[in-house]
C-alpha cells in the first residue's frame, strides 16, 4: 500500500514537471489574490462607518462564531493598507481583488449620506496599488450588508435592487476613473442559501422554505440594475467592465445511471444555476427543471403558489445578458447521487430537499482544514468546460481558489503547494480545451477572519 503511494507520487511529479516545461500562461493573463472587506479591514466603527450585519451578529450573538471572535480589528487593513500593498508587490501581483464595505461608504445604506472618510480610505488603498501598477478589481458586495437595510428585510425586500443600484452608482462615480473591473456580488449562493435559506452566514435567517429563492430573484435583478447603470452612464467614459462572481464547484454524477444524471443536473441548478441561468443563459429566468420541482412540491405541501417566484418578461429581459465576464470562485468537487445509500435528511421544505439529490466525496481525495474542501481531480477543467458548453464562449476569471490549513500547520504547507499546482494545471487544461479563462486570483492575500470559523 505504501509502496503504491510512493510510486504514484513519483509518476505524478514527473508528469507535472514535463507539463510545466511545455506550457505557460499568456502575457496578458491576470494573476492576483483576493480578499473581502469584513474579513480584513477592521476599523468596524472608525470615522463614521455604519454597522453591518456581521458587526451586528458577532456583537449580539457571538456564540455562532467558533472561537467567539469577530472582525472588529481583523487584519487591520484600515490602518495598515500600505503594508497590504507591500505584500502585493513582494508577490508580484498583476491585480488585487477586494471588496468595498457598503456601510463604510453609506453608513445608513442609502445614498443620501456619503461618508467621505470611508471614500478617502478606499481612494488611498486604490492609489497605493496603482503606484505600483497593481490593477484594482472591486467587488461591490462581499456579504456585509448595512444593518439598517437588513432591518428592512435586506435581500428579500423587493426594493433591494434599487438600493443596490444607488450604492453601485456612488462607487462608479467615486472610483470608476481608476477602477476598470467591477464585480457586483460575491457568491450569491452563500448570500442567499447560507444567509437566508439556512443559518450558516449572517443574517442567519434560516427561512428554509423560501429564503433562498426570494433572495436569488432580488439579487440577480440588483446585479442587472447595477450592470445597466454602469453600461449606460459610466462605461462610455470610464471604459471598464462589469460582471458577477458565482461559486461554481463541480457537481458530477456519481454513476452513469439516469437517476444520478438527473440528480446531478438538479444539484447544479440548486447550487449555482439559480444565479447563473437568469444572467448567462439564452432563455433567462430560473433553471427549468428545478423550477418545475419546486412548483410541484409547493402544491403538494399546500402552498397556493410556487415557493420559487416567477420572473415577469420584463425582469427576464433586464437580467438576461447583463455581463461583460463571468467570475467564478472554485474550490472543490462533489459526486452527486439519487441513491438511498447516500441519502441525507434535509429540512422540508428547503432548497436541497427540493433538489432531490445527495452529495458525497471519495475518502481518497486529500482533505484540507475545512470540512467542505478537498483536493478533487481536474475540477476546474470539469466546471469551466461545462460552463462554456452551457453558456457559450464568454470571458471567464477564476476570482477565488485556495486551500486552508490549521494554525498548527504553520509555514509547512506542502499540501497547499500541491493544491495550487494541480489547480493551475487544470486552468491550463481548460484553456487548451478552448475556455477563455483570462485571470486567476488566489484566496487569499493574507490570513483573515474566516466567517463562522473565526480565526481557527
Ligand atoms: C433551521 O430550520 C430547520 C427547520 O426548517 C431546523 O430543522 C433547523 O434546526 C434550523 N436551524 C437552525 C440553526 O436554527
Using the mean position of ligand 1's atoms as its centre, give its distance from the Cα of residue 206 in Å: 6
Q: How confident is the model at residue 24 (pLDDT cuts 50, 70, 90)?
A: very high
Distances (CA, A) of 407 to 174, 366, 455: 39, 18, 9
Q: How confident is the model at residue 441 (pLDDT cuts 50, 70, 90)?
A: very high
Q: Name the residue with cell 476546474.
A: 380
Question: Could you tell me what percent of the chain has a pLDDT over 70?
Answer: 95
Task: Read off the DSSP letter of residue 26.
Answer: -
Q: Work out how many domains the chain is built from and give that number.
A: 1
Range of the domain at 93: 3-453
What pLDDT, on the 0 to 100 scale, is given for residue 406? 85
Torsion sign across C-alpha atoms 330, 200, 444, 422? negative
What pLDDT, on the 0 to 100 scale, is given for residue 65? 98
Identify the CATH number of the domain in which residue 259 sits: 3.20.20.80
Question: Could you tell me what percent of the chain has a pLDDT over 90?
Answer: 93
What pLDDT, on the 0 to 100 scale, is given for residue 410? 83
**Does pLDDT of 273 surpass 70?**
yes
Q: Is the pTM of this model over 0.85?
A: yes
pLDDT in tens, 300-317: 999 999 999 999 999 999
Whether 252 contacts 264, CB under 8 Å: yes
Using the mean position of ligand 1's atoms as its centre, give its distance from the Cα of residue 159 in Å: 27
187 tagged catalytic:
yes
Q: Which residues of 295-307 are buried (b: 16+ CB within 10 A; e: fewer)?
A: bebbeeeeeeebb
Instruction: Confirm or reject: Cβ of 200 under 6 Å from ligand 1.
Output: no
Whether 334 contacts 359, CB under 8 Å: yes
Instruction: Confirm or reject: Cβ of 347 under 6 Å from ligand 1.
Output: yes
What pLDDT, on the 0 to 100 scale, is given for residue 361? 98
**Does pLDDT of 318 surpass 70?**
yes
What pLDDT, on the 0 to 100 scale, is given for residue 22? 75
Instruction: Confirm or reject: Cβ of 339 under 6 Å from ligand 1.
Output: no
C-alpha cell of 19?
A: 507539463
Q: Name the residue with cell 445597466.
A: 228
Sheet holding 358-360, edge to edge: 250-253, 333-337, 358-360
**Does pLDDT of 7 surpass 90?**
no
Q: How confident is the model at residue 143 (pLDDT cuts 50, 70, 90)?
A: very high
Instruction: Confirm or reject: Cβ of 199 under 6 Å from ligand 1.
Output: yes
What pLDDT, on the 0 to 100 scale, is given for residue 409? 85
- 54, with CB counted inside 10 A (0-12, 13-18, 19+), is buried
- Summarize the chain as % helix, strand, coil (round to 5): 50, 15, 40
Query: Residues 197-217: what's their mean pLDDT?
Result: 98
What pLDDT, on the 0 to 100 scale, is given for residue 412? 87
Closest residue to atom 4 of ligand 1, CA basis: 347
Query: Residues 267-290: what's their mean pLDDT?
Result: 98
What pLDDT, on the 0 to 100 scale, is given for residue 397? 99
Average pLDDT, the chain: 95
C-alpha to C-alpha distance for 319 and 307, rounded to whole angstroms: 20
pLDDT in tens, 129-139: 999 999 999 99
pLDDT in tens, 322-342: 999 999 999 999 999 999 999
Whether 250 contacts 334, CB under 8 Å: yes
Torsion sign across C-alpha atoms 375, 381, 386, 388? positive
108 tagged catalytic:
no
C-alpha to C-alpha distance for 217 and 291, rounded to whole angstroms: 13
What pLDDT, on the 0 to 100 scale, is given for residue 13? 46
Query: Residues 16-24: what's their mean pLDDT?
Result: 63
Query: Residues 138-152: what's their mean pLDDT?
Result: 99
C-alpha cell of 59?
A: 456583537
C-alpha to C-alpha distance for 225 and 168, rounded to whole angstroms: 9
Closest residue to atom 13 of ligand 1, CA basis: 199
Q: How confident is the model at residue 21 (pLDDT cuts 50, 70, 90)?
A: low
Which entry of 51, 187, 194, 271 is annotated as an active-site residue? 187
What pLDDT, on the 0 to 100 scale, is given for residue 407? 81
Query: Residues 208-212: what's their mean pLDDT?
Result: 98
Torsion sign across C-alpha atoms 322, 285, 211, 332? negative
**Does pLDDT of 1 surpass 80?**
no
Ligand 1 nearest-atom number relative to CA 204: 13
Which entry of 128, 265, 400, 450 is annotated as an active-site residue? 400
Whether 345 contacts 262, CB under 8 Å: no
Mutate to test the pocket of ligand 1, among 65, 200, 207, 347 (most ligand atoms within 8 A of CB): 347
pLDDT in tens, 97-121: 999 999 999 999 999 999 999 999 9
Closest residue to atom 3 of ligand 1, CA basis: 347
What pLDDT, on the 0 to 100 scale, is given for residue 5? 38
Amino acid at each position: 500500500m505504501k509502496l503504491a503511494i510512493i510510486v504514484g507520487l513519483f509518476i505524478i511529479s514527473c508528469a507535472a514537471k514535463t507539463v510545466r516545461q511545455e506550457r505557460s500562461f499568456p502575457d496578458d493573463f491576470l494573476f492576483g489574490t483576493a480578499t473581502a472587506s469584513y474579513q480584513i479591514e477592521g476599523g468596524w466603527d472608525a470615522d463614521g462607518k455604519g454597522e453591518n450585519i456581521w458587526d451586528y451578529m458577532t456583537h449580539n450573538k457571538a456564540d455562532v462564531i467558533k472561537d467567539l471572535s469577530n472582525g472588529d480589528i481583523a487584519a487591520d487593513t484600515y490602518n495598515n493598507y500600505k503594508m497590504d500593498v507591500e505584500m502585493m508587490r513582494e508577490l508580484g501581483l498583476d491585480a488585487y481583488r477586494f471588496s468595498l464595505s457598503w456601510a463604510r461608504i453609506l453608513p445608513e445604506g442609502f445614498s443620501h449620506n456619503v461618508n467621505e472618510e470611508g471614500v478617502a480610505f478606499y481612494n488611498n488603498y486604490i492609489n497605493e496599488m496603482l503606484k505600483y501598477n497593481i490593477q484594482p478589481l472591486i467587488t461591490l458586495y462581499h456579504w456585509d450588508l448595512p444593518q439598517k437595510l437588513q432591518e428592512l428585510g435586506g435581500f428579500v425586500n423587493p426594493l433591494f435592487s434599487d438600493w443596490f443600484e444607488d450604492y453601485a452608482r456612488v462607487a462608479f462615480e467615486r472610483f470608476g476613473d481608476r477602477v476598470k473591473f467591477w464585480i457586483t456580488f460575491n457568491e450569491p449562493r452563500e448570500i442567499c442559501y447560507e444567509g437566508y435559506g439556512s443559518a450558516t452566514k449572517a443574517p442567519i435567517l434560516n427561512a428554509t422554505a423560501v429564503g433562498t429563492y426570494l433572495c436569488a430573484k432580488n439579487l440577480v435583478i440588483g446585479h442587472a440594475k447595477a450592470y445597466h447603470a454602469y453600461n449606460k452612464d459610466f462605461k462610455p467614459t470610464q471604459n471598464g467592465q462589469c460582471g458577477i462572481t458565482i461559486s461554481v464547484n463541480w457537481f458530477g454524477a456519481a454513476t452513469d445511471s439516469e437517476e444520478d444524471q438527473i440528480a446531478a443536473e438538479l444539484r447544479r441548478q440548486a447550487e449555482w444555476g439559480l444565479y447563473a441561468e437568469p444572467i448567462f443563459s439564452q432563455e433567462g429566468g430560473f433553471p427549468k427543471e428545478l423550477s418545475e420541482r419546486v412548483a410541484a412540491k409547493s402544491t403538494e405541501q399546500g402552498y397556493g403558489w410556487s415557493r420559487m417566484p416567477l420572473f415577469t418578461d420584463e425582469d427576464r429581459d433586464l437580467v438576461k445578458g447583463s455581463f461583460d465576464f463571468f467570475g467564478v470562485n472554485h474550490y472543490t468537487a462533489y459526486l452527486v447521487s439519487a441513491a438511498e445509500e447516500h441519502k441525507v435528511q434535509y429540512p422540508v421544505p428547503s432548497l436541497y430537499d427540493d433538489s432531490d439529490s445527495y452529495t458525497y466525496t471519495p475518502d481518497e481525495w486529500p482533505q484540507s482544514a475545512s470540512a467542505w474542501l478537498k483536493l478533487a481531480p481536474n475540477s476546474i477543467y470539469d466546471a469551466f468546460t461545462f460552463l462554456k458548453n452551457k453558456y457559450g464562449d464568454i470571458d471567464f476569471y477564476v476570482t477565488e481558489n485556495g486551500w486552508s490549513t490549521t494554525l498548527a500547520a504553520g509555514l509547512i504547507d506542502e499540501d497547499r503547494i500541491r493544491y495550487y499546482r494541480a489547480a493551475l494545471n487544470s486552468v491550463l487544461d481548460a484553456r487548451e480545451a478552448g475556455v477563455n479563462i483570462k485571470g486567476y486570483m488566489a484566496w487569499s492575500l493574507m490570513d483573515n477572519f474566516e466567517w463562522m470559523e473565526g480565526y481557527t
